[in-house]
Amino acid sequence: MTQKEDILQLPISFKNIRLIRLNLPQKEQFVSGIGVRNSREALIIEWEDIHGVKGYGECSCRPDPYYSDEFIEGAIALVDQFIVPFLVTNQTFGDLLKLLDKIRGWNFTKAAVEMAALQVIEKNTGKSPFELLQNKPLDHVPVGISLGLYTELDRMKKVVKNALETGYKRLKFKISPNVRIDFFEEINPMLFAADTYVSFDANGSFGENDLEIFNYFANTYQSMIEQPFAPNRFDVLLKAKKENPDVYICYDEEIKSIGDLMKLHHLGLLDEVNLKVGRVGGVMKSIEIIQYCAEHNIPCWIGGMFETGIGRTLNLRMASYLPNARAHDLSPSDRYFLEDIVQPNIEMNNGMVAMQSLQNCEIQSNLIDKYTIDQKTLEATC
pLDDT tens for each residue of 118-131: 999 999 999 999 99
361 and 243, same domain (yes or no): yes
Average pLDDT score, the chain: 92
Residue 115 reports pLDDT greater than 90: yes
Q: What digits encode the pLDDT tens for the residues 87-104? A: 999 999 999 999 999 999
Cis check for the bond before 344: say yes or no (omega within 30 of 0). yes
Q: What is the CATH number of the domain that holds 246?
A: 3.20.20.120
287 and 162, same domain (yes or no): yes
Say how many domains are in the chain.
Answer: 2
Q: What digits encode the pLDDT tens for the residues 330-342? A: 988 777 788 899 9
Burial of 42 (0-12, 13-18, 19+ CB in 10 A): buried
* 3-state SS assignment for residue 248: strand
What distance lies between CA 136 and its chain's CA centroid? 22
Q: What pLDDT score was predicted for residue 33?
A: 67
Q: What pLDDT score was predicted for residue 125?
A: 96
227 and 114, same domain (yes or no): no
Please state the three-class secondary structure of 172-183 as a single string: EEECCCCCCHHH
Q: What pLDDT score was predicted for residue 67?
A: 83
121 and 145, same domain (yes or no): no
66 and 210, same domain (yes or no): no
| Mean pLDDT for the stretch of residues 32-48 | 86
Distance CA 198, CA 212 (A): 20
359 and 222, same domain (yes or no): yes
> What backbone torsions phi and psi does residue 311 show, to the nearest 5 degrees?
-75, -30
Distance CA 144, CA 84 (A): 37
| Mean pLDDT for the stretch of residues 181-186 | 94
Distance CA 260, CA 267 (A): 11
pTM: 0.92
Q: Which of 337, 365, 334 is nearest to 347 (CA)?
A: 334
* 3-state SS assignment for residue 238: helix
195 and 52, same domain (yes or no): no
Q: Could you give the percent of the chain with pLDDT greater than 90?
A: 72
| Mean pLDDT for the stretch of residues 45-73 | 94
Residue type, 120: V
Whether residue 59 contacts residue 40, with contact meaning beta carbons closer than 8 Å, is answered with no
Q: How confident is the model at residue 241 (pLDDT cuts 50, 70, 90)?
A: confident
160 and 49, same domain (yes or no): no
273 and 196, same domain (yes or no): yes
- Assign residue 332 a region (left: φ > 0; alpha: ψ between -120 and 50; beta: otherwise): beta
Residue 318 reports pLDDT greater than 80: yes
Q: What pLDDT score was predicted for residue 105?
A: 95
100 and 155, same domain (yes or no): no
Q: What digits encode the pLDDT tens for the residues 129-157? A: 999 998 899 999 999 998 988 999 999 99
Q: What is the CATH number of the domain that holds 12?
A: 3.30.390.10
Q: What digits encode the pLDDT tens for the residues 254-289? A: 999 999 999 999 988 899 999 999 999 999 999 999
Domain range for 21: 4-128+366-379
Q: What pLDDT score was predicted for residue 382?
A: 66
354 and 370, same domain (yes or no): no
| Furthest C-alpha separation in the chain | 64
Q: How confident is the model at residue 1 (pLDDT cuts 50, 70, 90)?
A: low
105 and 171, same domain (yes or no): no
* 3-state SS assignment for residue 153: helix
Q: How confident is the model at residue 205 (pLDDT cuts 50, 70, 90)?
A: very high
Top-confidence residue, 360 or 156: 156
